[in-house]
Amino acid sequence: MGIIDVQNLNKTYANKLVLNNLSLSLGSGQIVGLLGPNGCGKSTLIKILAGVISDYDGNVFIDGQTPGIYTKSIVSYLPEKTYLSKWMRPVDAVAYFSDFYADFDKVKAMDMIQQFRLDPMQPTKNMSKGMQEKLQLSLVMSRRSKVLILDEPLGGVDPATRSAILDMILRNYLEESILIMATHLVQDVERIFNYAILLGYGELILAGETDDIRREYGKSLDEIFREVFACSISL
């Protein structure tokens, strides 16, 4: 059993099947790309792993436990949407996380905030979307968690900033953890993944070590991604 095990997972919204009999197993020490177009079920899967969604069919285990109080203590989750209160400044957010999470490294968080050149006294309501994403990433990456889950962390930033954020993730990722990043920006981020999951409208299309996938298909992950979903759109 891996650190994450999903068995025959099904999830329906208003009679629409969003995840269809999904099964996968992931071990620690990996940076995993959860890849797929918008609306394919990536965020739903992530919310189930994070313990945000509990009404599903099938089995989900994180460190041998079903999602709940324990798993939330070992999962550091970055949602796609901004979740900090508008009045919060970085110093307030760091204090909040420090009080709330026993595994939070306050010094590391402030260091990342400084590296991102964020003003620790600026309210989030006065920040751009990209600045807010940098702040939230700094908070999430500063937990010493067994599982880190990032849902589209690069959607609101320009390509140059994406590269800087990826480098920051690599420098602060704990090798004994597993990091899962959901994204549809495959070309920009595939360099950091050593394992990839390609999800297509609720179904598992492809999963494996990225080097093995590239060798088997003779293509980059981005090229495979584009071909798979260009075909699905044309159909």
Q: How confident is the model over 126-184, as pLDDT tens digits?
A: 998 888 889 999 999 999 999 999 998 877 677 778 888 888 888 888 888 999 999 88
Q: Is 59 domain-assigned?
A: yes
Asked if residue 223 lies in contact with residue 231, where contact means CB atoms within 8 angstroms, the answer is no
Q: Is 134 domain-assigned?
A: no
Q: Which residues pair with 104 in a beta bridge?
A: 143
Asked if residue 78 lies in contact with residue 149, where contact means CB atoms within 8 angstroms, the answer is yes
Question: Which amino acid would we find at residue 207?
Answer: A
Q: How far apart are CA 42 and CA 186, in angstroms?
A: 14
Q: What is the pLDDT of residues 47-97, one digit of tens each?
A: 999 999 999 999 999 999 999 999 999 999 999 887 888 999 999 999 999
Indicate left, alpha or beta for 84 from its phi (over 0: left) and psi (-120 to 50: alpha): beta
Q: Is 109 domain-assigned?
A: no
Structure confidence at residue 1 as a pLDDT band (50, 70, 90): low
Q: Is 23 domain-assigned?
A: yes
- Using a 10 angstrom Cβ sphere, with 0-12 exposed, 13-18 middle and 19 or more buried, the burial of residue 112 is buried
Q: How many domains does the chain have?
A: 1
Q: Is 121 domain-assigned?
A: no
Phi and psi, residue 67, nearest 5°: -55, 130
Structure confidence at residue 233 as a pLDDT band (50, 70, 90): very low
Q: Is 28 domain-assigned?
A: yes
Q: What is the pTM of this model?
A: 0.91
What's the confidence (pLDDT) of residue 75?
95
Q: Residue 184 belongs to what domain range?
A: 4-83+146-234
CATH code for position 77: 3.40.50.300
Q: Return the residue matching tokens 């595994």.
A: 103
Q: Is 111 domain-assigned?
A: no
Q: Is 150 domain-assigned?
A: yes
